[in-house]
Structure 1
Amino acid sequence: MTTTTESPSNPPGESGSSRRSWLREHSELGVCVMLLALGVLVLTDALTMDVEIAQRGPIGPKTVPIAVGIGLLVVAVLLAIDVLRGGRGEAEGGEDIDLSEPADWRTVLLLAGVFLGAAVLIEPLGFPIAGALLFWGAAYALGSRHLDRDPLIAAGLSLITYVVFNNLLGVPLPGGPLMGVL
């Protein structure tokens, strides 16, 4: 006679693979959780706002954030109900993604690392250099292996972006060592 041990993490009659299957079929619940958290954040921020302006009429500066927060909570609950009843979002007609395939975590982690690296380096190195590293790293993470051409294109894109934002649009970006040259 064999006995099985049941734990809260593994309910009776439910194996690990069936739980993963259920989570994969209901993966849109992650969007519900994100919307719920965002709604709570917006409502908390709106309700704790310190407003010094004299309010004229029934609509004040808290009204729109409160309405948006409530809307996010309602959408999160309605979407969760739909997903739990078996609803699924339809793929776009032009999508060529096979949802049964696992995620490419190597690419996701490379892109996240490149983005975080650029965010850390933008202040000491300036936007032109950090932006070039961002563009080049993103191209590499997404599969481009033209090591002679990609850095030049990345540097050009970064410099053009810097000049357009800094000089033409008046949006100051950190120049780093190139400050004053451009």
Structure 2
Amino acid sequence: MTTGPTPGTVPGDVPEENGQPSPSGRRAWLRDHSELGVSVLLLALGVLVLTDALTMQVDIAQRGPVGPRTVPLVIGGGLLVVSLLLAVDVLRGGRGEAEGGEDVDLAEPADLRTVLLLTGVFLATAVLIEPLGFPVSGALLFWGTAYALGSRRVDRDPLIAAGLALFTYVVFNNLLGVPLPGGPLMGVL
């Protein structure tokens, strides 16, 4: 005769001698239900959006049924509903399916060199954008990113990076009216 799980245990746990679930059984259950983390994240985000929407100070007189709080309230409520539905689905045994075209080998360790190079490039851009301006720091950003991701064409990459940065600067600064720091090139363009 088989018996059900001991009261106070999580399904799938292996009870120890005192009837409590073992740490390895609890870890296995959490690993099998890891999508609950996404549910908790959505719940927290929904609560944050609703809290901000409900505490929003509105000075403009509202005309009609839709005011500035309507969209955040709908989005926050939607996040809470999706969070609840996801948690129920995961607890009932639902699992997310991996994409069929995904070519990432999850057994391989992360490429920390690339991650550190990209982090350095982004931090350097943040520091250099004011003194050097967007065209120069943007070119360094594009070139550094290409280098970190494996491109070693020193004859082509700097020219493409400079062209992209200059094109982006002109479009945003001159055509769209979004001011970007020009740095030394401010007077030229």
Out of 47, 58, 63, the position equivalent to 1:40 is 47
- Residue correspondence of structure 1 range 86-125 to structure 2 within 5 A: 86-125=93-132
Task: Provide, for residues 20-46 of structure 1, a one-character-per-residue CA deviation record: whole Å limited to 9, x for no partner.
Answer: x66655444443343233222211211
Look up the equivalent residue of 1:103 and give its one-letter code. Answer: A
- Residue correspondence of structure 1 range 1-182 to structure 2 within 5 A: 13-15=22-24, 19=27, 25-182=32-189
Q: Report the aligned-residue RMSD.
A: 2.8
The 1:51/1:70 distance shift into structure 2, 3 A limit, reads: same
Query: C-alpha distance in 1, partners of 2:119/2:44?
Result: 22
- Cα distance, 1:119 vs structure 2: 2.6
Task: Provide, for residues 45-82 of structure 1, a one-character-per-residue CA deviation record: whole Å limited to 9, x for no partner.
Answer: 11111111222344322111111111112212322333
- Cα distance, 1:107 vs structure 2: 2.6
- Cα distance, 1:97 vs structure 2: 1.7
Task: With the length of structure 2 as denominator, give the TM-score of the two structures.
Answer: 0.74
The percent identity for this pair of structures is: 81
Query: C-alpha distance in 1, partners of 2:36/2:115?
Result: 21
The 1:145/1:37 distance shift into structure 2, 3 A limit, reads: farther
More RCO (CA 8 Å, sep 6+): 1
Query: C-alpha distance in 2, partners of 1:178/1:23?
Result: 55
- Cα distance, 1:121 vs structure 2: 2.3
Runs of 4+ in 1 over 6 A off after TM superposition: none
- Cα distance, 1:115 vs structure 2: 2.2
Query: Which structure 1 segments of 5+ residues have no match?
Result: 1-10
Query: C-alpha distance in 2, partners of 1:169/1:73?
Result: 37
Query: Which structure 2 segments of 5+ residues have no match?
Result: 1-19
Look up the equivalent residue of 1:14 and give its one-letter code. Answer: P
Query: C-alpha distance in 2, partners of 1:85/1:34?
Result: 19
Query: C-alpha distance in 2, partners of 1:151/1:104?
Result: 24
Whichever of the two has the greater Rg, that structure is 2
How many aligned residue pairs are there?
171
Task: With the length of structure 1 as denominator, give the TM-score of the two structures.
Answer: 0.76
